[in-house]
Amino acid sequence: MKFNSQSVIILVGLNAIVFFIGYRVLPNFHESFALFFPENDNFAGYQFVSYLFLHGSFSHILFNMFALYSFGSVLESSWGTKRFLIFYFITGVGAAVVYTLVNYYQFFDIFDQLVKLGLSDIDIKQMLASGSVRQSVLNSIPEAQLIEFYSIYHTPAVGASGAIYGILIAYAISYPEAKLALIFLPIPIKAKYFVPILIGGDLFFGMTKYSIGNIAHFAHIGGAVFGLLMMLWWNRKRYF
């Protein structure tokens, strides 16, 4: 089967170019285009889109682009370029919105605890800027929560993973009987089972402290949720 994957190839190429620029040409590139927490001075509205083209490592971009080409090419051939690009960017931006909302909830939950301890807004901003914490705060709030508080504020999100999860949802709905497998677990599983298991894993790791590495699990879930909503809407409108 010959795939019409023109936009997918362009997206892969743009991601590769931006990755090269960020790591070889302009090392501070991420400070402008990664998705920062809105309370951070580095935040800008366009980052809800630009973060999709940045990646944290070679393995990160490799896995994402492999998935984009493998599943995106099939969907673009079925839907057409325009509809595929609309789906890709809506799920990518949707992933960023969900991720940011979850961060807001977690950040201000800890923020409110600090205020109750008597810290002012200026005190908290100084704490975030310096990384130093009063002993009275350490005696009242677990260190793990304070690390999370600091990380939410300072650590930006990068990567096309949210949009990729939207694509996976669309693929599973469109081709439920197709068999998929993880590289490190080469056991073929039907897409209608594989994708929900994958998302369930993100939900588990996002809700617990067992996550391995700095992975934006709720961005994955957000992309999947927006992908599901778009598929339900389009199917209802009989676009497929």
Residue 9 has pLDDT above 90, yes or no: yes
pTM summary value: 0.89
Q: Check pLDDT > 60 for residue 22.
A: yes
Measured distance CA(230)–CA(184) in Å, rounded: 30
Contacts of residue 81, defined as CB under 8 A and 6 or more positions apart, other chains included, come to 4, 6, 7
Residue 80 to residues 87, 172, 232: CA-CA distances in angstroms? 11, 18, 18
- State the pLDDT confidence band at 41, using cuts at 50, 70 and 90: very high
C-beta pairs of 135-140 under 8 Å, 24+ apart in sequence: 140/113
Q: What angle do CA 130, 124, 126 make, to 5 degrees?
A: 30
Share of the chain above pLDDT 90, in %: 57
| Residues 6 or more apart whose Cβ sits within 8 Å of residue 37 | 43, 100, 103, 107, 152, 153, 154, 156
Categorize the per-residue pLDDT at 225 as very low, low, confident or very high, splitting at 50, 70 and 90: very high
pLDDT value at residue 25: 74
- Tell whether the model's pLDDT for residue 77 goes beyond 80: yes
Residues 19-39, mean pLDDT to the nearest whole number: 85
Helix (H, G, I), strand (E, B) or coil at 181: strand
Q: Name the band, by pLDDT with cuts 50, 70 and 90, for residue 240.
A: very low
User: φ and ψ at 185, to 5 degrees?
Assistant: -140, 75
Grouping H, G, I as helix, E, B as strand and the rest as coil, residue 206 is helix
Q: 22-31, 49-58, 102-111 — which is least confidently predicted?
A: 22-31
Q: What is the mean pLDDT of residues 162-191?
A: 84
- Digit-coded pLDDT (tens) for 130-153: 888 888 888 889 988 999 999 999
pLDDT score recorded for residue 30:
83
Query: What was the pLDDT predicted at 26?
Result: 77
pLDDT digits (tens, 9 = 90+) for 44-58: 999 999 999 999 889
Say how far apart CA 120 and CA 60 lie, in whole Å: 39
Query: Is residue 137 classed as helix, strand or coil in its secondary structure?
Result: helix
Cα gap 88→7, rounded to integer Å: 10
The count of C-alpha atoms lying within 13 angstroms of the C-alpha of 192, restricted to the half-sphere facing its C-beta, is 5
What's the sign of the alpha-carbon dihedral 101, 211, 16, 11? negative
| Structural domains of the chain in order of their starting residue, each with its CATH number | 6-236 (1.20.1540.10)
